[in-house]
Structure 1
Amino acid sequence: MKKILYFVVGVVGCATLYLLLWPVPVSPVAWDAPTAPGYQGPHVVNKRLSGLNMINLQGEVGPEHIQFGRDGKLYTTVASGNILRMEADGSAQEVFANTGGRVLGFDFDAQGNLIAADAIKGLLSIAPDAKVTVLTDMVNGDPIRYADAVVVAKTGKMYFSDASTRFAPKDWGGTFEASVLDILEQASTGRILEYDPANKATRLVATGLSFANGVALSEDEQSLFVNETGKYRVWKIAVNANELDVRAPGTQAQVLLDNLPGYPDNLMRGLDGKIWLGFAKPRNPTVDDMAGKPWLRSLTLRLPRVLWPIPKAYGHVIAFTEDGKVVADLQDPSGSYPETTAITETKDRLYVQSLHAHGLGWLPK
């Protein structure tokens, strides 16, 4: 009997020491998470995103970003590293290019080159003949670890997010794993960069963001709208800002949308002045409750992954205007189309972006 008791005590002791002392890759920072607003007001529960039409992607997964090129074709990026090209109805699918990484966001420049934010490779230019060129993968001698979203201005300058300077997807098992680590840590190392093709220079626009994600330009191209995924908000930042830390007081950066009901991911300009935003996941009360308990977040990473507090699947996209007014809200509480990261809007369709879906969803307008 004593042997069994000693064995049990030993196992419990070892487990306790493991949970308390086993090294983890994060150094969590305490922060004050605002009380979740819930699904009310402009975000009252609805099913407007349910029953999507689906375009079969022939086994490809994760149409994370969707956009039409100057050739009138629809382009989307998928988890395999492929960039797919097709007609608007999904027909005539082909692989346009493969970057060998994971493109999370892209835009087109005036010459028709596809400008890609590749989470593994950096900022890329892909010519119409599919030739891939690295534009930049460093800023001030520091590697760009997690290029996430990009938008090209009429001036030719390219503004893009480097989601985390702590956790590179190539080092931590992929984009999702690296994002979980960064958001759990809350060190706010995300940043916004500018690449100027005229002089091939890369500069820091803004720093201090908790997982810098989607990026969109204002209509006058004087401001950037930026999703701060880890803190549930959208910033408006002057394009001429220079190494601005958004956490410091200043007029060149302001919070436009705060305390959102989920983790904001991509931003896409829509029609009639709208900007579409998608939520990869809804808020999780357990995660918010751990905001002021860094030690508890460290302990979480010592648990098996199935026990991590990953939020449930819930489809949700909104549209807002440049003054921060929410003008559309589409939801699918069933979460049947996972990680709805934004909407690509045309005059007759809404294409739904997704990080992990096995097809490309769309709704008629």
Structure 2
Amino acid sequence: MLRRAIIVLTGLILLVAGYLALWPVPASPVAWSASKAPGFEGPFAPNQRLAGLRMIPIGKEYGPEHIALGPDGKFYAAMTSGALLRFEADGGNQQPVANTDGRVLGIAFDPGGRMIVADAMRGLLAVGAEGQITVLADHVTPDDPIRYANALTVGPDGTVYLSDSSTRFSPREWGDTYRASVLDIMEQSGTGRVLAYDPGTGKVRIVAHGLSFANGIALSTDGRWLFVSETGRYRVWKIATDARDVDVASGSPQASVLLDNLPGYPDNLTRGSEGRLWLGLFRPRNPAADSLAPYPFVRKVLLRLPRWMLPLGKPYGHVFAFDEQGRIVASLQDPAGAYPETTGATEAAGRLYIHSLHAPTIGWLPL
């Protein structure tokens, strides 16, 4: 009896070991070097300034991933359902204005006041006054699709600058944005890029490539530079708007790191007042995850485990502001992480509205 139990146990161990070592996974991790996480010190010293957020109910909707102020003085929020919700500064008079049947991650307005959105499932879209959806671009070239449209900003001439987070993992193919992002960041193949859409010609060009999950994007005050968050490498880049297919790792003067070795995963970037740029940190870094940077095989093994077992960091609310020289000018934190996944912040009407990937409300605080 004991011998049979030993044989069965040995067989189970071999099966599990074989699964962890050999079962196919979609990602092919590559080795990279992660700097030691700085932790919460200096300008990021722990505080409670984001704790006790005031909440705006949003009914059955959830996941206000991005919030933007429109030219009509109304606010617009992108929900997980694909809905775009319009509301007053105090959260009142909520109205759904459109549903893209995808997942909008970024909202902006062109010089004519038209709403332009980045939909991770569908590409770059325009939303008409009656809620009609027009696809502006879902490919760079016929054989080069935009797989993960994420964030966008619009220049004074109407050019739309868009982050395409990954050319490897599409949220449409993998079921949702979070799953696709985890695969890309675990792989670290650096296929994220920044695109520019010309509304006059309808053409798309590659501004820069080689980013590990390109994410939030914002324009400099003079319109000559883009600030781009690179989620997978914990940093923010400064990239020239007139760059063409620049590899950020090439040492080009048109692409340089402005903020490096951040304490968390940087997400949305928005412009505030007095030259500020607001950035949300989705979650703090996990030293265990950083320690696996040189070991692609181990990361591949981890991808065979349930997602909840991945070392993705604990909940921790954090948004901060910096100026165009990279100086940190504000840091707002909630160590308890009561408002989940703080992806960004929108400063307007004397308030700071907090973005979230999964929250069932819109959080805000007075400034």
Same fold judged by TM-score > 0.5? Answer: yes
Within 2, Cα distance between the matches of 1:18 and 1:342? 38
Within 2, Cα distance between the matches of 1:303 and 1:160? 33
Please state whether the residue corresponding to 1:208 is helix, strand or coil.
Answer: strand
Q: What is the CA distance between 1:70 and its match in structure 2?
A: 1.3
Q: How does 1:184-333 map to 2 (within 5 A)?
A: 184-333=186-335
Aligned twin of 2:111: 110
Identical residues among aligned pairs (%): 56
Within 2, Cα distance between the matches of 1:292 and 1:360? 39
Within 1, Cα distance between the matches of 2:50 and 2:138? 37
Within 1, Cα distance between the matches of 2:282 and 2:308? 19
Aligned twin of 2:136: 135
Please state whether the residue corresponding to 2:362 is helix, strand or coil.
Answer: strand
Please tell me the residue identity of whatever aligns with 1:54: M
Aligned twin of 2:52: 51
Q: What is the CA distance between 1:302 and its match in structure 2?
A: 1.1
Please state whether the residue corresponding to 1:336 is helix, strand or coil.
Answer: coil
CA contact (8 A) 1:29 1:186 kept: yes
Please state whether the residue corresponding to 1:170 is helix, strand or coil.
Answer: helix
Please tell me the residue identity of whatever aligns with 2:41: Q
Q: How does 1:140-151 map to 2 (within 5 A)?
A: 140-141=141-142, 142-151=144-153
RMSD: 0.7
Please state whether the residue corresponding to 2:297 is helix, strand or coil.
Answer: helix
CA contact (8 A) 1:115 1:123 kept: yes
Within 2, Cα distance between the matches of 1:338 and 1:243? 35
Give ranges in structure 2 of 5+ residues lacking alignment.
none
Q: What is the CA distance between 1:43 and its match in structure 2?
A: 0.1
Range with greater deviation from structure 2 (208-217 or 300-309): 300-309
Within 1, Cα distance between the matches of 2:118 and 2:307? 28
Within 2, Cα distance between the matches of 1:248 and 1:84? 41
Within 1, Cα distance between the matches of 2:6 and 2:359? 50
Range with greater deviation from structure 2 (69-78 or 116-125): 69-78
Range with greater deviation from structure 2 (102-111 or 262-271): 102-111
TM-score, length basis structure 1: 0.99
Q: What is the CA distance between 1:293 and its match in structure 2?
A: 0.5
1:64 aligns with 2:65: yes
Give ranges in structure 1 of 5+ residues lacking alignment.
none
Within 1, Cα distance between the matches of 2:361 and 2:18? 45
CA contact (8 A) 2:69 2:348 kept: no
Within 2, Cα distance between the matches of 1:200 and 1:9? 61
Please tell me the residue identity of whatever aligns with 1:91: G
2:178 to 176, 179, 187: 176
Please tell me the residue identity of whatever aligns with 2:99: N
CA contact (8 A) 2:170 2:180 kept: yes
- 1:243-287 per-residue CA deviation (whole Å, 9 max, x = no partner) reads 000011110000000000000000000000000000011101111
CA contact (8 A) 1:112 1:127 kept: no
Aligned twin of 1:38: 39
Please tell me the residue identity of whatever aligns with 2:337: G
Within 1, Cα distance between the matches of 2:25 and 2:45? 38
Within 2, Cα distance between the matches of 1:197 and 1:12? 59
Q: 1:315 to 1:21 in 2, by over 3 A?
A: same
CA contact (8 A) 2:192 2:212 kept: yes
Alignment size in residue pairs: 365
TM-score, length basis structure 2: 0.98
Please state whether the residue corresponding to 1:75 is helix, strand or coil.
Answer: strand
Within 2, Cα distance between the matches of 1:309 and 1:38? 16
